Structure formats: C-alpha cells, structure tokens
Amino acid sequence: MPIGQPAANLAVHPAHSANPAAFAATRFVLVEPSHPGNVGAAARALKTMGFSQLVLVRPRLPEVQREPEAIAMASGADDVLAAARVVDTLEQALVGVQWSLALSARPREYGPPIIMPRVAAAQAAATLCDGRAAVALVFGNERTGLANEDVERCSAIAHVPANPVYTSLNLAQAVQVLAYELRLAYLDGAEQPPVSGRPVAVLASSDEIEGMFVHLEQALTALDFFDPANPKKLQPRLRSLFARTGLEREEVNILRGIAKHILLKIKS
C-alpha cells in the first residue's frame, strides 16, 4: 500500500459469492460497552466484513448510537450503528440463537469448551449450513470483560492468541479479528458442494436451553438434590456439561419432559 493511502480506500472483497443468509444470521453482541468510539468502530468493523447485526447490552450511554464520537468512528457504517439494538440482558440478546461464542482472555474454572477463533468461525459456519439457525459472538466491556454467568450462557469460549507479553486488545479490534475469521469461513463454506441425503439436526436456541435449565433446577430442588440457598457449583457444572454436547431441540424437549414428570410425581 503506498504511503499515505487512507485506510478507508482499502479494497474488501464483496460478500456476493457467499450465502448472504449466513451474514444476516450472525449477531455481534457487546455487553456493557463503555466507550462510544468503540461502539462506532465495532459497527465499522462489521460493515467492512459484510455483517450488520449489532446488539448492545446495557451500554453505559443508553443512546450511544447518537454520540458524535460513535458516529465519527463508524466512518460510513452509520446504518449499522443506527440499527444497533439495545437490550437489558444477554438473555434477550441471545433469543433465537443456536450457537454462541464468548470472547474472553481470562481462564475460567467452569464454562463451555475453549476453541481457537478460526475453529470457532468454522463451527459458526457449520451451524448456519441449513440456513435456519442463528449464531452470536459475545464481547465483554473494555475494563472487566465478560462475567462468569455471561460466559456460561455461551456454547464455546475463544480468545485471540495475541502476543503473550502484551495481550491487550481493543474491543473494536477484537470484533474486527473475529468478523474477518467469520467472513473467511463463510466464503469458504460457499465454495463447498451442498451435502444431501442427510437430515440436519435443529440445534436448541439459547432461550430454549435457558428454559430447560430453569425447569431442571425446579425438578432438582423438588428432589432435594439442589439447594438454591447453597447452590455450590452444580449449575456451572451442568452448564459446562451441556455446552459440550451441542444440544438439539428434541434433546432439550426430552430433558424438560423428564423434569416435568419429576415434578408431577412429587406433587402427586
């Protein structure tokens, strides 16, 4: 690139060769972002890679999309920024999502499987192969990252393998890295011949899985196996267990059916 060439003029391959439904079905979720500039820069990162779904969970500034700094850093991605959806909880942000990835550099005692970003991108592409699913990438705030309970809601964890001597990565930069990896995976997937003759399992959505956990907790409490006043590590361990399985909708329904019958037997 010639010296002095503005970054905005760098060519980006268009998304027309990939399945546009995959890009439309991918959400980027920022949990409690504090700096308007990062929100705007994240919107720009999404648009350059062909994505448009930005969800903000409890941003420090409720109308951050209108902040001059956010608009300036969006630099032409004003449409993505303006369309960003603001919600109160991560649970709301993940409604309808079948697979989600938490971005976290901190080790966790419990949680979903840890994978590399490129592997995560391939997993996202595989999840979207039937055109019916939705996936989400979840990023924590600039100072503290994601809380344990937010990580435990996700299907997998990834972190950018940065220089171990200096691992600090700006929020918008992390969004850009993962958006790039997803774009590569989606473009590569578009070049693969479709698989026919095999039924595609319907993965359970995040809200369906959360409903299952509530139901299971009620059943285990009724059995005196789980004490809500002294929960210990049962719920994180169960979440970690089920996160490794990639629950299908039918499996979630079976587990909820078991919980329902436990409750019915105890009440009878």
Does this model's pTM top 0.85? My answer is no
Check whether residue 31 and residue 156 sit in a common domain: yes
Q: With respect to residue 210, please indicate whether it lies within any of the assigned structural domains.
A: yes
Q: With respect to residue 14, please indicate whether it lies within any of the assigned structural domains.
A: no
Domain boundary among 123, 156, 190: 190
Check whether residue 210 and residue 186 sit in a common domain: no
Q: With respect to residue 145, please indicate whether it lies within any of the assigned structural domains.
A: yes
Check whether residue 143 and residue 258 sit in a common domain: no
Here the CATH number for the domain that contains residue 137 is 3.40.1280.10
Q: Which residues of 29-42 are buried (b: 16+ CB within 10 A; e: fewer)?
A: bbbbbbbbbbbbbb
Q: With respect to residue 199, please indicate whether it lies within any of the assigned structural domains.
A: no
- Average pLDDT estimate for 225-238: 84
Q: With respect to residue 140, please indicate whether it lies within any of the assigned structural domains.
A: yes
Q: What is the pLDDT of residue 6?
A: 41
How many domains is the chain partitioned into structurally? Answer: 2
Here the CATH number for the domain that contains residue 258 is 1.10.8.590
CA distances from 160 to 58, 105, 168, 201, 214 (A): 24, 8, 10, 30, 33
Domain of residue 124: give its range.
20-190
How confident is the prediction for the chain on average, in pLDDT?
Answer: 86
Check whether residue 61 and residue 150 sit in a common domain: yes
Q: What is the pLDDT of residue 31?
A: 97
Evaluate whether 28 touches 136 at the Cβ level (below 8 Å). yes
> Quick one: pLDDT band at residue 8, thresholds 50, 70, 90?
very low
C-alpha of 48 from chain center? 19
Check whether residue 168 and residue 259 sit in a common domain: no
What pLDDT digit, counting tens, does each position of 133-142 carry?
899 999 999 8
Check whether residue 174 and residue 41 sit in a common domain: yes
Check whether residue 150 and residue 217 sit in a common domain: no
